[in-house]
Amino acid sequence: MKKLLCALLTAALCTLSFGGFALAAEADVGIVLPTKDEPRWLQDQARFESVIADTDYSVEVLFSQGSSAAERTNVETLIAKGIKILIICAHDAGAAGLTVETAKEEGIQVISYDRLITGTEAVDYYVTFDSIAVGEAMGQYLLDNAQGTGNSLYLYAGAATDNNAFLFFEGAWNILQPKIADGTFIIRNSSEATALKDQYALTRDQQAAIIGQITTDWDFNVAKSKAESNLTAVAASEKGLCYVLAPNDGTARSIADVFASDADVNGFYVTGQDAEIASVQYVIDGKQSMTVFKDTRSLAQDAMDMAITIIEGGVPETDTAYDNTLIEVPAKQTPVVVVTKENVKEALIDSGYYSASQFTDLD
């Protein structure tokens, strides 16, 4: 509360010094995104900007630069601007709980965007892609390209502070676990996952134990050094043709570069998600095998439609619900599309998501 008063006071002082008697700039909807350092969130920003251009409501977008403290300050700034709806993609699912509770106390409705905020009742709605389907698509891709038994599997995951990292892993495990149990794949880089290889449904704690070992923290450098140490730790016979579950495009490019430069790796399949421009080029060039396209146009539109429905007194449409460890949060879910070299043009260029001029060697 003290911090909130401070933010309000600061906003009032700014108003006085700039505009005499003018009111502080107000916003109806506040949007908080996790970081500008990952192209994924710049896609969302761009899509929000075009949705915002079409609405009469005032909207402000702020970035938290991978910091829960900055995220809290952003939310306080937006509260001071009188927002009615907060759309927030949290940096850390647990830490964001207290922040959204502050917003809730001010009568603001909270929409979790892409990443579910956990352990709090202060989340009204969730707008998301089907994250289990993302993981399943990755697992299925690897499986579709495997032959015989004993295929070397390397597992990587997102940040343990992101609920999505659990959903992506769960989806991949749904597909891969039976094929690890029957010997199609052999896990080469996780003793925790190997110990659980005969168990299809994992508890959250078991998932956390595996993710703790294979996490990239959503960080390119962590992904790179983890892949390097994994390949250093195994014998040449455990390399050869490799199957690599990489959790998103940024980490996929780092991991792919490491596998590509290892003399004992003579081929690899690597997954990804987000259809980041750099990874789409990697897919075209055959350096990354696939990406899962999550059309941020739909997500931004759904989130804004939901916000406007609430402002105008309606009840937003939802089609599912997600357990945030405390409550079932009503959710609107968007499907995803698998993109490989074969359908890259149709999925990403013909759909108007990107233009052909952003890529080379696209035929």
User: CB of residue 249 vs ligand BGC: minimum separation in angstroms?
Assistant: 7
Structure tokens at 100: 């959204």
114 binds ligand BGC (CB under 6 A): yes
Residue 190 interacts with ligand BGC (CB under 6 A): yes or no: no
Assign 193 to helix, strand or coil.
helix
Binder to ligand BGC among 68, 120, 184, 248 (CB under 6 A)?
248
Give me the sign of the Cα torsion angle 27, 28, 34, 39. negative
Task: Decide if residue 38 touches ligand BGC (CB under 6 A).
Answer: yes
Question: For 116-145, b where at least 16 C-beta lie within 10 A, e where not — what string?
Answer: bbbbbebbbbbbbbbbbbbbbbbbbbbbee
According to the binding rule CB under 6 A, does residue 115 interact with ligand BGC? yes
- 293 is an interface residue for ligand BGC by CB under 6 A: no
3-state DSSP helix/strand/coil % of the chain, to nearest 5: 45, 20, 35
* Touching ligand BGC, residues 250-289 (CB under 6 A): 273-274
Least gap, CB of 282 to ligand BGC (angstroms): 15
- 71 scored as a contact of ligand BGC (CB under 6 A): no
- Find the shortest distance in angstroms from Cβ 57 to ligand BGC: 26
Report the distance separating Cα 267 and Cα 104, nearest Å: 51
The answer to the question of residue 130 lying near ligand BGC (CB under 6 A) is no
Q: Which residues of 181-211 are buried (b: 16+ CB within 10 A; e: fewer)?
A: eeebbebbbbebbeebbeeeebeeebbbbbb
Phi, psi of 31 (to 5 degrees): -120, 130
Q: Which of residues 317-346 bind ligand BGC (CB under 6 A)?
A: none
Q: Kindly tell me which of 3 and 36 has the beta carbon lying closer to ligand BGC.
A: 36
Place of tokens 């595996």: 210
Nearer to ligand BGC, 129 or 243 (CB): 129
First to last CA, the chain: 58
* Residues within window 131-170 making contact with ligand BGC, judged by CB under 6 A: 158, 162, 164
Element (H, E) at 4: helix 2-19
295 binds ligand BGC (CB under 6 A): no
47 binds ligand BGC (CB under 6 A): no
The footprint of ligand BGC (CB under 6 A) covers 38, 40, 114-115, 158, 162, 164, 218, 248, 273-274
